Amino acid sequence: MADFMYRSSFQVPAQELFRWHARRGAFERLAPPWEKIRIVSSEGGIENGSRLVFSFRKGPLKLKWEAVHEGCVEGKVFTDRQVEGPFAEWVHEHRFIENGPENSVLEDGVRYALPMGFLGRVAAGRRVKRALDRTFSFRHDRTAADIERHRRFASAGTWKIAVSGATGLVGSSLAAFLGGGGHSIVRLSRRRPAEAEDAVYWNPSLGEIDAKGLEGTDAVVHLAGENISEGRWNPARKASIRRSRVEGTRLLASALAGLECPPKVLVCASAIGFYGDRGDEVLEEDGTSGGDFLASVCRDWEEATVEASQAGIRVVNLRIGVVLAGRGGALRKMLTPFSFGLGGRVGSGRQYMSWIGLDDLLGVIQFCLFTEGMAGPVNAVAPCAVTNAAFVKTLARVMRRPAVFPLPAPVVKAVFGEMGKALLLSSTRVRPARLLAARFPFLQPDLEGALRSELGLRMK
């Protein structure tokens, strides 16, 4: 058996630290973004006898882990023990220790044994300890950041928040994050939910929505929309992209406007594609729209929320940049070529890329939900846009790989067509003027820090 301990101090009472771990969404928030973890089943929370089954990948292998919770003492300790999984034995004790009225210590103690005994320890012992240190460093940092963000808006109380696109990369992460703050999450689902399920039926393609199911919601976050980066754009595909955003948004806005008690706020996704290809021009929320396909989609997308705002609902149109996330999206697609040293600039490399770390996007959505003064367009990007060449250089440095294989513009246009030109070659240099004026606290304002956080690659 081997022992591992990770210990951190927190500026919150031990009871509050315990409650955050006990809420729905805590496991998802504590799962490292560089690990592709999927929950298979969950019975209960952290109380004695509750079980969690999840799967994850290690190289080509798909592994299963089943854990049972035991030894739970409210506000003080709980334990999860591996029933089935990659270790010969695993017992993880979470201890919450009072350290004064407003301070506490979190201790994560793990006793584990590797398979194959002595041979397992020789082959993987050091690597496992490094992985545990990397994982628990991330977990404690995230715990502190999430609790601080929720404390900032604690006076608003807990809300009932409906989320569309809740199975996607951003939506699933948002549901877990807001759940950790004690909020109740209602998912908009294209299948008819079971009676006890926290979900509301809607089917934008059929123009159907269970409006009554939205009664009593305090807020709605609308993230649903067809993925624009999957496949070349032909007329049918472009029509489908527009329809999924504009008609779905119009359906939802109309339903909310007709409620007896409409929600306080609707936060609706849009995109920085609103501005079009603008070279080196610095673009703020009062900037004009572009003239290409994506710009026209974004204009119509935002205009589709008008019925909600006319009904007195505070509407925020989030113009979201390229979302950097270790477990999916654009960054995940880049990792394979870069890991083999096959990365490089795209086109000239001079085009600007306006990005935002996934965790900061979640924070921006929370900020817009609970900040009365936030309405209308809000640029959801990090403070410093970078050129494609600078992005490639930074990612290569973080991954400790060369990046010497450029992807010429003619190849991008030949392979990806209009989609490649719009997503890979256009230049959009966006500044989050409204967030900066409101003093939104970015956790990942610089690119290298965001990449290292999402990929779990610290400085050597």
Q: What is the per-residue pLDDT across 198-228, written as a single tens digit (0 to 9) for each? A: 999 999 999 999 999 999 999 999 999 988 9
318-338 burial: b if 16+ Cβ within 10 Å, else e: bbbbbbbbbbbbebbebeeeb
Strands (E), 114-251: 160-164, 184-189, 199-203, 208-209, 219-222
230, HSE (Cβ side, Cα atoms, 13 Å): 7
Stated as kind and residue range, the H or E segment containing 38 is strand 38-43
- So what's the pLDDT on residue 104? 97
* DSSP assignments along 389-421, one per residue: HHHHHHHHHHHT------B-HHHHHHHHHHHHI
Single-letter amino acid, residue 243: R
78-105 burial: b if 16+ Cβ within 10 Å, else e: bbbbbeebbbeebbbbbbbeeeeeeebe
Q: Specify whether 274 is located in the same domain as 408.
A: yes
Q: Which CATH number fits the domain that encloses residue 83?
A: 3.30.530.20
Structure tokens that stand for 35 in this block: 């690990």
Q: Specify whether 137 is located in the same domain as 208.
A: no
Percent of the chain scored above 90 by pLDDT? 85
Last residue in a domain, options 87, 121, 152: 152
In the structure, what pLDDT confidence band is assigned to residue 300 with cuts at 50, 70 and 90? very high
Last residue in a domain, options 136, 152, 168: 152
334-352 per-position pLDDT tens digit: 998 999 999 999 999 999 9
| Residue 345 within a domain | yes
Domain count, the chain: 2
- So what's the pLDDT on residue 439? 97
Looking only at Cα atoms, what is the longest distance across the chain?
Answer: 69
- So what's the pLDDT on residue 453? 93
Q: Specify whether 145 is located in the same domain as 246.
A: no
> Cα torsion at 250, 251, 253, 256 (round to 10°)?
170
Q: Specify whether 148 is located in the same domain as 164.
A: no
Which residue shows structure tokens 């009072």? Answer: 98
Q: Specify whether 380 is located in the same domain as 413.
A: yes
- Mean pLDDT (the chain, rounded): 94
| Residue 460 within a domain | no
33-58 per-position pLDDT tens digit: 998 899 999 988 899 999 999 998 87
Q: Which CATH number fits the domain that encloses residue 267?
A: 3.40.50.720
Q: Which domain holds residue 59?
A: 2-152
Judged against a pLDDT cut of 80, whether residue 129 lies above it is answered with: yes
Quote the distance between the C-alpha of residue 165 and its chain's center. Answer: 12
Last residue in a domain, options 128, 152, 176: 152
Kindly state the DSSP code that residue 230 receives in the 8-state scheme: S
Q: Specify whether 227 is located in the same domain as 84.
A: no
- So what's the pLDDT on residue 460? 55
369-394 per-position pLDDT tens digit: 999 999 999 999 999 999 999 999 99
In the structure, what pLDDT confidence band is assigned to residue 459 with cuts at 50, 70 and 90? low
Judged against a pLDDT cut of 90, whether residue 70 lies above it is answered with: yes
- So what's the pLDDT on residue 36? 83
d(CA 86, CA 128): 12
In the structure, what pLDDT confidence band is assigned to residue 100 with cuts at 50, 70 and 90? confident
404-422 per-position pLDDT tens digit: 999 999 999 998 899 999 9
- 212 burial via Cβ count (<10 Å: 0-12, 13-18, 19+): exposed
311-339 per-position pLDDT tens digit: 999 999 999 999 999 988 899 889 989 99
Minimal CA–CA distance to 280: which of 428, 447, 446, 431?
Answer: 428
Q: Specify whether 138 is located in the same domain as 178.
A: no
Q: Specify whether 168 is located in the same domain as 148.
A: no
In the structure, what pLDDT confidence band is assigned to residue 293 with cuts at 50, 70 and 90? very high
Structure tokens that stand for 188 in this block: 């908009």
Structure tokens that stand for 294 in this block: 């994506």
Judged against a pLDDT cut of 90, whether residue 137 lies above it is answered with: yes
Percent of the chain scored above 70 by pLDDT? 100
pLDDT, mean of residues 107-114: 96
Q: Which residue would you say has higher pLDDT here, 117 or 155?
A: 155
Judged against a pLDDT cut of 80, whether residue 144 lies above it is answered with: yes
| Residue 210 within a domain | yes
